[in-house]
Amino acid sequence: MYSKKVIEHFTHPHNQGAIKNADGVGMVGNPVCGDLMKIYIKVKNLKNGEVIQDIKFETLGCASAIATSSMITDLAKGKTLGEAMKISRDDVADALEGLPPIKMHCSNLAADGLHEAIKDYRSKNKK
């Protein structure tokens, strides 16, 4: 039912935990299953723009929610905020070599969590 990649990321998640003094935090929940996800980002201003230098997650949820959280941190690390905003739930599911159709909403949570963290950073850093 699950791809190898999903099992890999579920059993050995990358970037799990919190970032103290994060520049942006996104928290999203799924009202249907009750799962919760928190994404923390550290942003650095570089020549090519504002870049996600570090990213971590805390997730209370199903195997797919953990795997998609782990995968989105891998996908977003080192990207500019503009690029990271374009990461979609399909990108997360594709990078995990697919999710069972009934679990697609779990990848939604990861993409939304990342986008919320970026919005939080932007609202705190309005010039």
Give the interface with ligand FES as residue ranges (CB under 6 A).
Answer: 30, 33, 35, 61-62, 64-65, 103, 106, 109
Chain centre to alpha carbon of residue 127: 26
Sequence-distant (≥ 6) Cβ neighbours of residue 74 within 8 angstroms: 14, 15, 95
Give the shortest CB-107-to-ligand FES separation in angstroms.
9
62 is known as an active-site residue: no
From the list 33, 45, 46, 94, the catalytic residue is 33
- Is 81 or 106 the residue whose CB approaches ligand FES more closely? 106
Q: Which of 77, 113, 111 is nearest to 91 (CA)?
A: 111
| 106 counts as catalytic | yes
Give 43 or 89: the residue with its C-beta nearer to ligand FES: 89
In the complex, least distance from residue 43 CB atom to ligand FES, rounded to whole angstroms: 26
Task: Render 38-95 in DSSP notation, one character per residue.
Answer: EEEEEEEEETTEEEEEEEEEEEES-HHHHHHHHHHHHHHTT-BHHHHHT--HHHHHHH
- Annotated catalytic residue within 65, 106, 109, 114: 106
Measured from the CB of residue 97, what is the shortest distance to ligand FES in angstroms? 17
Cite the active site residues. 33, 106
